[in-house]
Amino acid sequence: MTSTTTPDSWQSALADLVAGRHSASGDHDDAGAQLVVTDPDGTEVFRAPLARHHRIDSDQPNLLWLRPIVGGSPNPDVPTLYDYNLNVARRRALVWDRVEVGADGAVSFQLAPLGDEEQGQVARVEAADGEELETLSRWDDFVSRLSADDEAELDRLEADSWAGTAYS
Amino acid sequence: MGTNSKTSHQPYAVAPTATEVAELPAPAGAVGPPPTGTAAELLDMSALGGPVLPPDLQHLVQEKLTSVLEQAAPPAEIGPAPAKGEAAGGELGGGAAGADAEEEEPEEDGPAAEQHVELQSEGAAIPEAELAFELDSAEADAEEEDEPEEEALWTVPVTPPVGVAAGVPALISGHDLVDSTATLISYNTGSDEPREVLLAHLSEDAEGKLLDALDAGEPKLVPIQVEKEVTGRLGMDEQHKLAELVGLAAKGVNGKLKHGEEMTTKTLSQYQAAQKAVGAVLDNPALTDDEKTMAQYYAGHLATIGERMENPKALPYLEGGKIPMVTPYLHTGMATVTEYVPAPPEEGEDDGLLKATKRSASRIKATIDKSTGTTSWDGETRSKANGIEYAIDLGDGYRAVYRPYAGNDPATTEYSMRGQLEIHAPAGAGHGQDLVGRLEQLHLNNRAMKAPEGELTYLHANITAQGLAKNTGVQQALETAHALEDLQVQELFHERAHEAIGLDATELGAFAKRIQLEAAHKVLPKKVTVLRDAVAKATGFADGAALAASSGYDPTPSRSAGWSSWNRFDVTGAPEQFDAAWKGKSLIHNIGKGSLVDVFATGVLASTERRAVMGIGGGLGMSEGADKKTGGANYAFVRVADTSSAGKAGRLIWDNPRTLMQRADYYAYDGDHFGALNPHGGHSTYGQTRDPYKIANFTSGSNEVMLRNGADLYSEQAPTRAIASSAAERNAVLALFASRGITHLNGKPVEDVVIYNGN
């Protein structure tokens, strides 16, 4: 694995994006990150906003854990709020061969090929926009309603499934 | 049809239209090309001395038969097709020998078995007297009664156990239901009258049959006034959006508290907006007592938010500093509401169809007792889902709910709920078998699966698991199996065509259905023989008999919580080889810290979709696109890890991975592959494998092995280690086991399974 930038650089760029520190309004809640994955032929195969946490695996430095926000449905009592199934919005992984930070601040990962693939996918973590930013805001509402313990468990990015009862 | 009487079977020996022999290179014998005649041609039997149907009846039967043929397996392209008008026919077995062959057990292979599918060449020379039409239906019925009844693989319980969240599986014949499985759950209601429900997932191909059973036109509704208890937000709350505004203020402040940041102008504005709205309501002199209580409730929340803003460092975020969830204030009271119910049918209006009402989709809203794992439901409460469903009256207090594929756009509605079927029994216990029986009202197969069909399912599962679908011999066998059923449908039709005379359209539909079901039943042993032989040769066995006699061959399903699973014989037949390849490797699942009791309370590591029907979690909220993003809601995930380093807190660990890897229903990637995790989604599936020997060599920490439905933690699929996060958690799990009388998991003492490592 190689990096065209220093580990500090890409890691801090990633952390800033996920936390929303690039917010123009000065309030981090108004910004965040999205993950866009493309196949080697350039076809976009995945796009989702990212929850505000990430973790570099302690056993495998080129393994990054993230939580793309997928699913979600209106709360029965307050339809303007959304609930998320935490087994659906589960942690996902990027195993990368190369990483670089673009001029626009986005962090691009050349993912390791799987199986018979000659070349892996490209995963780009960039500033969330449009529908993805709206989804992220709904997710933030949801997380605010979790207990502090549940929120901490999500932040750890260790569980493959969610056994708790709150919004599971 | 019976198989005990050679005499009565002789008329079956030849098909009335068979005209030539077709020798085929099928691995387990030869079979002729399926007739290519259309339904109309097949009906033209006057030249053969068959009954002549009136033109209008011919048209109806033609329609029904065409439908049957279309619903049957796709036509096989085997051997040269006969010229049009030269209607080919085939007979399965020859004369008395054929009849005998039908009696043989599927396990009896070899030369005798090959006779099952040989064609006879007596077509043109068939004396009229031997035509199948000679056997009247009464004789056929008598033979039906003579047929020895095979035992079902599993008995459908009369009384499913109350409160068992995963339910009890029932194996149902045919492929109307996904996995040929229904799950019976008896929900605890807190009284001595549980609510028993059958849950199943319909295959998309079977939906047409079910919808044909429904009268789903716009129902005539009549209004009724009902006095009932209602719970919901007060109008004043909704009008002023108090819950929304106070929740938004809490969210803004929590975001700053968590990261130790200064409150922003926006945060302050959100708080002030909520304060203003709540204050305006409180100042309203016309408030009712309920409204006043509601406004004071939100004012209390705002006071807490204000305190945190004032002194953000007073409490650490994780130790009481986070502002608690602002739940909406809900009011419960009695109210008279107008409900619309279907009008009773008028005289002469009954068309035999089931009355169905289309409505917004919903799900059973069950709850789980975290300490006992008991699932409860009152039989009525439902949560909203995104889409539509049919509420169906089955009569006698039985009801069904079906969420169709058609009408639920996969791009915009919940993808995984499409095809879900619920059948509800009247309150009380003891309806298990009746629930399964009621499938017939919906035109679905309701027979319990028997051994031959079980073996066919087993072989198909192994073809998928072992990647045999591309093997030429297996492909030919699959085509032959399809052709056999087509052939049988047509033969039976020729035999029974006279029975169609005088039937109306509805009766013709039932007639065609009976023929299709009987054909499938009759031809099953032959299909098994053909397929077993091909699978045997593709996997290095001399023939089907050798495969069947091998140690790993076990065509019986395993019960796994509320579902079924089949094993793969390449693993069960070579345990030493497997164990050697997996030496030093384990399978793990991270459940997160502090969750062991929750997991063992239900006793299953369940897929997201399974959890939903168990009462764990609400709507999935996923469109088709979202489902592809998650890897599918029907699978639970485990990962390959080194045994030596696997023992971290919050994990279930299988140090004997064979217990899971001998299943035939998993697939895996050595890493996370975005946009490719739904194998049926039409996306690339690069890197996907079902080979347990490749999986053993996975190296990435993000590898994933997806198990269909999940794993039963109280069966032989139990983990060998469960790592607690604290001594207290370990004690709680052991207490749970003790309360249930569980002393061992898969033969290992529970004290040795549940471990606390001190970290």
**Which of A74, A83, A114 has the CB atom closest to B687's CB atom?**
A114
User: What's residue B128's pLDDT?
Assistant: 32
User: What's residue B362's pLDDT?
Assistant: 87
In Å, how far is B175's CA from the nearest CA of chain A?
28
In Å, how far is A61's CA from the nearest CA of chain B?
10
User: What's residue B65's pLDDT?
Assistant: 52
pLDDT(A137) > 70: yes
Map B180-207 to HEC letters: EEEEEEEEECCCCCCEEEEEEEECHHHH
Domain ranges for chain A, please list them: 2-156
Strands B721-724 and B754-756 turn out to be: parallel
User: What's residue B673's pLDDT?
Assistant: 75
**Set of chain A residues whose Cβ sits within 8 Å of the Cβ of B702:** 57, 63, 93, 95
User: What's residue B85's pLDDT?
Assistant: 32
User: What's residue B630's pLDDT?
Assistant: 58
d(CA B757, CA B729): 12
User: What's residue B532's pLDDT?
Assistant: 97
User: What's residue B635's pLDDT?
Assistant: 86
d(CA B615, CA B610): 9
**Which of B317, B629, B670 has the CB atom closest to A48's CB atom?**
B629
User: What's residue B73's pLDDT?
Assistant: 38
In Å, how far is A4's CA from the nearest CA of chain B?
23
The answer to whether the Cβ–Cβ distance between A95 and B702 falls below 8 Å is: yes
**Which of B594, B639, B671 has the CB atom closest to A114's CB atom?**
B671
User: What's residue B53's pLDDT?
Assistant: 44
* A131, two tokens: 């529908």
Element containing residue B548 per DSSP (H, E): helix B544-549
The answer to whether the Cβ–Cβ distance between B669 and A114 falls below 8 Å is: yes
**Set of chain B residues whose Cβ sits within 8 Å of the Cβ of A83:** 618-619, 621
The answer to whether the Cβ–Cβ distance between A78 and B244 falls below 8 Å is: yes
**Which of B321, B622, B676 has the CB atom closest to A70's CB atom?**
B622
In chain B, whose CA is at the least distance from the CA of A30?
A: B266
Residue numbers of chain B with a pLDDT score lower than 70? 1-149, 218-220, 342, 345-351, 617-632, 675-686, 759
Chain B segment 356-415 residues within 8 A of A by beta carbon are 368, 370, 383-386, 414
Q: Is B206 on the interface with A (CB under 8 A)?
A: no
In chain A, whose CA is at the least distance from the CA of B387?
A: A73
**Which of B605, B620, B674 has the CB atom closest to A46's CB atom?**
B674
* B286, two tokens: 């016309």
Strands B420-424 and B398-402 turn out to be: antiparallel
d(CA B215, CA B236): 42
In chain B, whose CA is at the least distance from the CA of A57?
A: B701
The answer to whether the Cβ–Cβ distance between B266 and A25 falls below 8 Å is: yes
Compute the count of residue pairs across chains A and B with CB atoms less than 8 Å apart.
215
Per residue in B323-332, pLDDT (tens digit) is 998 888 988 8
* B546, two tokens: 């050798």
The answer to whether the Cβ–Cβ distance between B261 and A29 falls below 8 Å is: no
Q: Is B630 on the interface with A (CB under 8 A)?
A: yes
The answer to whether the Cβ–Cβ distance between B671 and A151 falls below 8 Å is: no
**Which of A68, A74, A140 has the CB atom closest to B629's CB atom?**
A68
Q: Is B700 on the interface with A (CB under 8 A)?
A: yes
User: What's residue B634's pLDDT?
Assistant: 79
The answer to whether the Cβ–Cβ distance between B254 and A144 falls below 8 Å is: yes
Q: Is B701 on the interface with A (CB under 8 A)?
A: yes
Per residue in A53-88, pLDDT (tens digit) is 999 999 899 999 999 998 887 777 787 888 888 888
The answer to whether the Cβ–Cβ distance between B633 and A88 falls below 8 Å is: yes
**Which of A73, A115, A159 has the CB atom closest to B688's CB atom?**
A115
In Å, how far is B731's CA from the nearest CA of chain A?
18
Q: Report which residue type is found at B581.
A: A
The answer to whether the Cβ–Cβ distance between A112 and B700 falls below 8 Å is: yes
In Å, how far is B262's CA from the nearest CA of chain A?
10
Q: Is B592 on the interface with A (CB under 8 A)?
A: yes
Domain ranges for chain B, please list them: 6-150+467-549, 168-220+355-442, 232-332, 558-756
CA atoms within 13 Å, Cβ hemisphere of A152: 12
CA atoms within 13 Å, Cβ hemisphere of B180: 23
Element containing residue B668 per DSSP (H, E): strand B666-669
Helix, strand and coil in chain A, % to nearest 5: 25, 30, 50
* E strands in B203-253: 214-215, 221-232
- Find the mean pLDDT for residues A28-44: 92
**Which of A29, A48, A95 has the CB atom closest to B671's CB atom?**
A95
The answer to whether the Cβ–Cβ distance between A144 and B247 falls below 8 Å is: yes
User: What's residue B498's pLDDT?
Assistant: 87
In chain B, whose CA is at the least distance from the CA of A157?
A: B592
**Set of chain A residues whose Cβ sits within 8 Å of the Cβ of B621:** 71-73, 82-85, 88
Could you give phi then psi for residue B713, rounded to 5 degrees?
A: -75, -10
Could you give phi then psi for residue B229, rounded to 5 degrees?
A: -80, 130
CA atoms within 13 Å, Cβ hemisphere of B310: 6
User: What's residue B685's pLDDT?
Assistant: 57
**Set of chain B residues whose Cβ sits within 8 Å of the Cβ of A39:** 675, 684
